[in-house]
Structure 1
Amino acid sequence: MSRNTFISILVWLALAGTIYYLADSIQNPNKIYKLGNTSSVVLKRGLDGHYRTEALINGEKVNVLVDTGATGVAISQSVADKLNLKSINAVRTNTANGESIGYMVRLDSVQIGGVHANNVAAMIAPGLDGDILLGMSFLGRMDIRLYKGEMTITQVD
């Protein structure tokens, strides 16, 4: 391989990496390292109109979709396996996709920036793909404000 070819490959790889980084920063603006450690976090709405963020569940970094319309926290089977969650019991649920079976679990901790809660009810939803839905079993313990494309979540003690 000639030196010019090698340099061209490096330039294209650097360009592709930069484009990926910028696109990810626009689509997922709420990275865990940007949220700080105060008792209030401000999430920016993504291009799709949703609030997504990185969170810590039982100390493990995961991607969540903040869903004020969800009763609880819903976790896919693959993420539940990653977090080593064991179900308490099976329950029948009604979702937007119809009736299904879910498995109740308790999360030791859920944290977004410095906002946290312990002993949070959640459900393993085997049919769920993608992000964790972070619903009211966590959010109901917080003060939530929506204003001009930002969601402020404040710890309430």
Structure 2
Amino acid sequence: MGFFLLSLSFLSQANIVAVGLMPGMAILEKDGQRLVIKAGQEKQGITLIRADSEQCLIEINGVRQTLLLGASLASGYTVTKGQEVRLQQDFGGHYYAQVKLNGRTVRMLVDTGATTVALSGDMARKLGIAYAKGRRMRSATAGGIVNSFLVHVNEMNLNGITRYNVPVSVIEGSHPDIPLLGMSFLGQLKIQQDNGELVISE
């Protein structure tokens, strides 16, 4: 497991600097004070969401920002406009999206009525998701009550909109035949319709 440190001599003017990174931990310098933060921890208004040996994702005042090793986040930084995705409505009135789950692309049906993202057991196996290790549950479907498992997908990406540790319901068998993009992902985003398009934005 690698761990890297970087000299601060040329970053003395920075407000927040990523000076050391490793999986699940970051060493940040804020106004000259060094902070060691583990994933999920909050110190001096900075929450570490995730980290590896090259970059980390932090949250400050509800805004998430990625820092590369040695990069700085100066005070008074501006937040760029969030990513926006536009989906065309099909002839049946549905919206479909190409979504990456842990780097694997899956065509999904946008379903704001689904509490979570939902996959069939068959699809989960194709994606390498060990769902049997998840929390066993019972889910109501059009065909009745079925066995399901609640798991968390490390990363989901919709055309540049990325969310981490997303709850996913995996239903044993082959249904739903088309995975559902439900509210465990969409609930963190803004959704609106615009002239036959579904606009999803951060």
1:113 matches 2:159:
yes
Which whole-Å CA distance do the structure 2 matches of 1:105 and 1:130 have between them?
A: 19
SS at structure 1 position matched to 2:124: helix
Residues 115 and 153, structure 1, Cα contact 8 Å, conserved in 2: no
Which whole-Å CA distance do the structure 2 matches of 1:49 and 1:76 have between them?
A: 23
Shift in Å at residue 57 of structure 1? 0.7
Shift in Å at residue 86 of structure 1? 1.5
| Number of residue equivalences | 118
SS at structure 2 position matched to 1:78: helix
AA of the residue aligned to 1:123: S
Which whole-Å CA distance do the structure 1 matches of 2:123 and 2:87 have between them?
A: 22
Q: State, as a whole percentage, how many aligned pairs show the same letter.
A: 36
Shift in Å at residue 101 of structure 1? 1.1
For 1:70, the equivalent position in structure 2 comes to 114
SS at structure 2 position matched to 1:138: helix
The alignment's TM-score, normalised by the length of structure 2, stands at 0.56
Residues 74 and 125, structure 1, Cα contact 8 Å, conserved in 2: yes
Shift in Å at residue 124 of structure 1? 0.8
Shift in Å at residue 137 of structure 1? 0.3
Shift in Å at residue 106 of structure 1? 0.5
Show structure 1 runs of 5+ residues with no match.
1-37
Instruction: Work out which structure has the larger RCO, using CA pairs closer than 8 Å and 6 or more positions apart in sequence.
Output: 1
AA of the residue aligned to 2:128: N
Over aligned residues, Cα RMSD in angstroms? 1.3
SS at structure 2 position matched to 1:94: strand
AA of the residue aligned to 2:157: Q
For 1:98, the equivalent position in structure 2 comes to 144
For 1:86, the equivalent position in structure 2 comes to 130
AA of the residue aligned to 1:147: D
AA of the residue aligned to 1:137: S
Residues 108 and 179, structure 2, Cα contact 8 Å, conserved in 1: yes
Show structure 2 runs of 5+ residues with no match.
1-81
SS at structure 1 position matched to 2:140: strand
Shift in Å at residue 146 of structure 1? 1.4
Shift in Å at residue 147 of structure 1? 2.4
Greater strand proportion = 2
- Deviation per residue, 1:85-127 (Å, 9 max, x gap): 1221210122233211101111111111011111000011124
Residues 57 and 110, structure 1, Cα contact 8 Å, conserved in 2: yes
**Larger Rg over CA atoms:** 2
Which whole-Å CA distance do the structure 2 matches of 1:78 and 1:95 have between them?
A: 17
Map residues 34-73 of structure 1 onto 2, 5 A cutoff. 39-73=83-117
1:140 matches 2:187:
yes
The alignment's TM-score, normalised by the length of structure 1, stands at 0.71
Which whole-Å CA distance do the structure 1 matches of 2:153 and 2:142 have between them?
A: 24
Shift in Å at residue 44 of structure 1? 0.5
